[in-house]
Structure 1
């Protein structure tokens, strides 16, 4: 078989795999529901200025604590007269941006450590002991410790959550590398004189992408929930930033007089976390190669 024929065969297999994966995913109704919610959240964050008519941080004390379904404020206002719907919409932008940055940084660190640990036996023990050290701290406490050192801000929240994500990602990547590097085509690449970097980046990493994609999707849920938790504790977004966790913290003092100040952002967090979790579950099933044997 010529090189051109081999490339065409690989392309056909890749196309077939993508189509099969998409079919499996679209059979999972719960995963599709999660995908729809995620797409709506992203659209809401991107087009936030176009779908809101109020400034999320502008105060209007004359219209404070208006109930839901008020004429100009259909989700009511908070104790400073700020429109709750506008703050929810702009809060989606903050949650998705901070979560995406945290997951991206965590993936970079985890992939690098996982590749090195799985490919080089001499580095494996050293890197895994470092990973075990990170695992010895409860995640939220580790994030709180990092923020205590760096200071309270959303940027530092993203950094803290990314460091918390590194050990899990590193273990996932390492496990995949250990199995892939013993494949015949990897041994053939070595015998042809391919460099270790080329083998890891061009051949091992793409074949380990499925568990990484699933991890990234489900980690987004954890990152968004962690961002809200840290902001609720006063370690993340600071007033008057429209962040969901901070909104719950500020609204709990008015739980009896204006319960919507706490309930609405709580529902926003719940729906977003639910959507990413069920989407991650669906992707895990769709990308599982063992599903071919069951179908």
Structure 2
């Protein structure tokens, strides 16, 4: 065999799982668009004080309702003379933080309940009936009920959305645990005397992370939209907090004279929700073990 043939015959180095996932993800153009938009939103939120000139809550009644592309206010001003661009940028910070906190708390509760229900058959019926009870309430109405009890604030909005997220996450995790716990390596760990906690944390949980990641990404879109909806209804961010839903609520009275007060935050919500949804779709396809790698 010649040297060239030997090189060709040399087996390729096995690709790691995360490398395969990234390669699949980067083949999905829409997912990349979503990822870019999400990263831009994160950069806006982190560097908000650097990329804005005006205070988002400072009023200047002498410059109220300036149109877009005005000198010093390229997205105009609202009816109180506050810079719309500054409020949009700081609104991204609020939406992302509230969404991340809500999804994290929802994941924490959902993963714990789902793991327990999937692993312990005796707890399955009890936990799933509790999950069914939460599912019996429409999501936004459940959030409104919780806020009515706790009071109107962004902290309570995050808590309400997290409770709303628990049942869906619990069902997803439970289904994954039920399929994983019957695998041969789990049986082997039991026969070796490993504790249930060790099996769940070290051997089952890492193997059910793919659906959890996809759920978290797509749930961010729901959390951001829900935060804006609740703030629009006056149950979330309170004036003068620069939150997108509250901005739409405050600007709707000026729809005919200053439409940018509702259109601009509406576009911000639309782009962010779209970005997280298409990114979640891309991650779902990239993490699917049955997907043809060469496709």
Deviation at 1:170, TM superposition (A): 0.1
Deviation at 1:16, TM superposition (A): 1.5
Larger helix proportion of the pair: 1
Alignment match, 1:141: 141
Alignment match, 2:180: 180
Alignment match, 1:118: 118
d(CA) in 2 for partners of 1:227, 1:279: 20
Alignment match, 2:5: none
Q: How does 1:193-212 map to 2 (within 5 A)?
A: 193-212=193-212
Q: Residues 218 and 280 of structure 2 are in contact (CA less than 8 Å); yes or no, is this contact kept in structure 1? A: yes
d(CA) in 1 for partners of 2:173, 2:198: 17
d(CA) in 2 for partners of 1:161, 1:20: 33
Alignment match, 2:225: 225
Alignment match, 1:163: 163
Alignment match, 1:17: 17
Alignment match, 1:6: none
d(CA) in 1 for partners of 2:168, 2:159: 16
**What secondary structure is seen at the aligned counterpart in 1 of 2:234?**
coil
**What secondary structure is seen at the aligned counterpart in 1 of 2:16?**
helix
d(CA) in 2 for partners of 1:34, 1:293: 21
Deviation at 1:292, TM superposition (A): 3.5
Structure 1: gaps spanning 5 or more residues: 1-11
d(CA) in 1 for partners of 2:79, 2:293: 58
Give deviations 1:152-208, integer Å, cap 9, x for gaps: 000000000000000000000000000000000000000111110010000000000
d(CA) in 2 for partners of 1:190, 1:289: 26
TM-score, L = length of structure 1? 0.95
1:48 equivalent to 2:45? Answer no
1:69 equivalent to 2:69? Answer yes
d(CA) in 2 for partners of 1:112, 1:16: 29
Structure 2: gaps spanning 5 or more residues: 1-12
d(CA) in 1 for partners of 2:292, 2:267: 37
d(CA) in 2 for partners of 1:85, 1:33: 23
Alignment match, 1:256: 256
Equivalenced residues, count:
283
**What secondary structure is seen at the aligned counterpart in 1 of 2:129?**
helix
Alignment match, 2:154: 154
Q: Residues 75 and 85 of structure 2 are in contact (CA less than 8 Å); yes or no, is this contact kept in structure 1? A: yes
1:282 equivalent to 2:282? Answer yes
Deviation at 1:291, TM superposition (A): 0.5
Alignment match, 1:58: 58
Deviation at 1:225, TM superposition (A): 0.1
Q: Residues 78 and 261 of structure 2 are in contact (CA less than 8 Å); yes or no, is this contact kept in structure 1? A: yes
Deviation at 1:294, TM superposition (A): 7.3
RMSD: 1.0
Alignment match, 1:39: 39
Alignment match, 2:9: none
Deviation at 1:17, TM superposition (A): 1.1
Deviation at 1:67, TM superposition (A): 0.1
